[in-house]
């Protein structure tokens, strides 16, 4: 019976498999095999023993059930793996398993392999999300829409500009992950407190060879564990990515409000929005994105606590990371899957976008009028005061902003009715919005060519 939602509800099967116990055991065996191979190359164990260990270091020979059985007796997970592998090796080859290593050499290096696979999956989804956003940026880069600050109508922007903000942020996350991989995709064979004393003068070369065979980067120095500032940086990035997706999901939710209704999540034919209100079309995917971000952000301080282990190590990081690392990856994975689904089939109500642009009877264009007055000889403060008076009059009456403006002598002396009409058209006050969108699109596309 499942308890945690990541066991069946959240995260892809592809990523879940990376963190399943069978996969973890498979990677631990891979580390033990690479260690034996490196030690044989350096003359520390017989070549025949290394070959036997490598041949038997697989799930075909070392069964998860047997490892669990051993662990239930000895209460040590890594030693259970060592014994499970050793008993499968013929002759005395099993005696050479795990020579000179400590538990966290195997465990932390296995974590490095799991993190490597997980980041590859996350980056692939980020690129897929980029593709969806690129399409939306291209298609809507010139589509005017209402800009909002403090929840109030501000000057216009474009829908593509909104999407490009998201695209640029997602692209930064890809860059961040690429940058942190150098620090997090690491492994170690450094022994009990990091001195490699058990391997004597061969310690460092065995460490280097073993980790490079696994496709990771050998740490320069450690104690009994790889230092947790690395893992804290990783979980911080996952929390930051979750927060960016939270922001994106929140924008969709707000723009899907009934009274705004500019964007809408795809709603399938047989989908049900409410158990009692048949008309409901709720933004449940975006809400789920936002809800999962709360959990992700909560994981960040827990991983920060793991940085300050005592002396050469204690065990307080181990139990928490069994939850923090797979959970963080799986929840971000779920968020990205949902974000791709939402934006791939995002419904855009252009008629409502146009309606909302004109909802304030032109008041959202007050800055444009002020700037026009300045360009025609008004002082900036003088123009601001005059347009504020006109705006307040519009608020307090039921007049259009246009009528209030053209009836003010100070304005009428400079601007004709056609001028005012032109200035109040949102399409004429989009500044460099389209250029910004094109710059983001260009940056993302060029980075893929490098």
Known catalytic residues?
Answer: 150, 274
Helix or strand (DSSP H, E) at 29: helix 21-41
Name the residue with tokens 């209460």: 75
Count of C-beta atoms within a 10 Å radius of residue 373: 22
The answer to whether the CB of 234 falls within 8 A of the CB of 179 is: no
For 389, the token pair is 């008076």
User: H/E/C letters for each residue in 76-138?
Assistant: CHHHHHHHHHHCCCCCCHHHHCCCCCCHHHHHHHHHHHHHHHHHHHHHHHHHHHHHHHHHHHH
Q: Residue 157 is inside which H or E element, if any?
A: strand 152-158
Rg (CA), the chain: 30
Is residue 72 a contact partner of residue 64, using CB atoms and an 8 Å limit? no
What is the rounded distance in angstroms from the CA atom of residue 188 to the CA atom of residue 112?
Answer: 10
Max Cα separation, the chain? 104
**Closest alpha carbon to 190 in 100, 114, 107:** 100
- Which segments of 275-346 are extended strands (E)? none
- Helix or strand run (H / E) with residue 189: none
What's the burial of 217, exposed, middle or buried (CB within 10 Å: 0-12/13-18/19+)?
middle
- For residue 19, how many other CB atoms are within 10 A of its CB? 19
DSSP code string of 238-285: HHHHHHHHHHHHHHHHHHTSTTT-SEE----TT--S-SS-TT----HH
């Amino acid at each position: 019976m499942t308890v945690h939602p990541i066991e069946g509800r959240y995260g892809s099967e592809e990523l879940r498999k990376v963190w399943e116990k069978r996969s973890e055991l498979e990677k631990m065996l891979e580390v033990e095999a690479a260690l034996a191979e490196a030690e044989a190359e350096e003359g520390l164990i017989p070549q025949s023993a290394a070959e036997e260990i490598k041949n038997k270091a697989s799930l075909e020979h070392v069964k998860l059930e047997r490892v669990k059985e051993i662990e239930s007796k000895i209460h040590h997970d890594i030693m259970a793996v060592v014994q499970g592998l050793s008993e499968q090796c013929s002759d005395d080859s099993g005696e050479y398993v795990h020579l000179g290593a400590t538990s966290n050499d195997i465990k932390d290096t296995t974590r490095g392999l799991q993190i490597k696979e997980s980041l590859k999956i996350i980056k692939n989804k980020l690129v897929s999300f980029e593709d969806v956003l690129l399409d939306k940026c291209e298609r809507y880069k010139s589509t005017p829409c209402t800009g909002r600050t403090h929840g109030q109508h501000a000057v216009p922007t474009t829908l593509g500009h909104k999407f490009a903000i998201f695209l640029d942020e997602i692209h930064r996350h890809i860059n961040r992950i690429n940058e942190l991989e150098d620090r997090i995709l690491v492994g170690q064979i450094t022994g009990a407190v990091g001195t490699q004393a058990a391997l004597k003068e061969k310690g460092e070369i065995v460490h280097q060879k073993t980790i490079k065979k696994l496709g990771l980067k050998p740490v320069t120095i450690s104690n009994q564990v790889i230092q947790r500032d690395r893992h804290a940086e990783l979980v911080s990035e996952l929390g930051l990515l979750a927060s960016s997706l939270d922001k994106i999901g929140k924008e969709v939710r707000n723009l899907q409000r009934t009274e705004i209704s500019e964007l809408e999540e795809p709603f399938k034919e047989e989908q049900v929005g409410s158990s009692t209100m048949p008309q409901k079309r709720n933004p449940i995917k975006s809400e789920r994105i936002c809800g999962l971000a709360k959990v992700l952000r909560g994981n960040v301080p827990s991983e920060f606590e793991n940085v300050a282990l005592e002396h050469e190590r204690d065990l307080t990081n181990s139990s928490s990371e069994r939850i923090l690392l797979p959970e963080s990856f799986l929840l971000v994975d779920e968020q990205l899957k949902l974000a791709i689904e939402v934006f791939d089939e995002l419904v855009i109500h252009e008629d409502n976008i146009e309606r909302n642009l004109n909802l304030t009877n032109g008041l959202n264009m007050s800055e444009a009028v002020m700037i026009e007055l300045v360009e025609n000889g008004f002082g900036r403060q003088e123009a601001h005061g005059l347009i504020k008076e006109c705006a307040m009059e519009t608020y307090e009456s039921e007049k259009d902003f246009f009528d209030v403006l053209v009836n003010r002598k100070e304005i009428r002396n400079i601007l004709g009715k056609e001028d005012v009409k032109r200035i109040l058209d949102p399409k004429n006050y989009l500044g460099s919005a389209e250029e910004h969108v094109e710059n983001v699109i260009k940056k993302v596309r060029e980075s893929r060519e490098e």
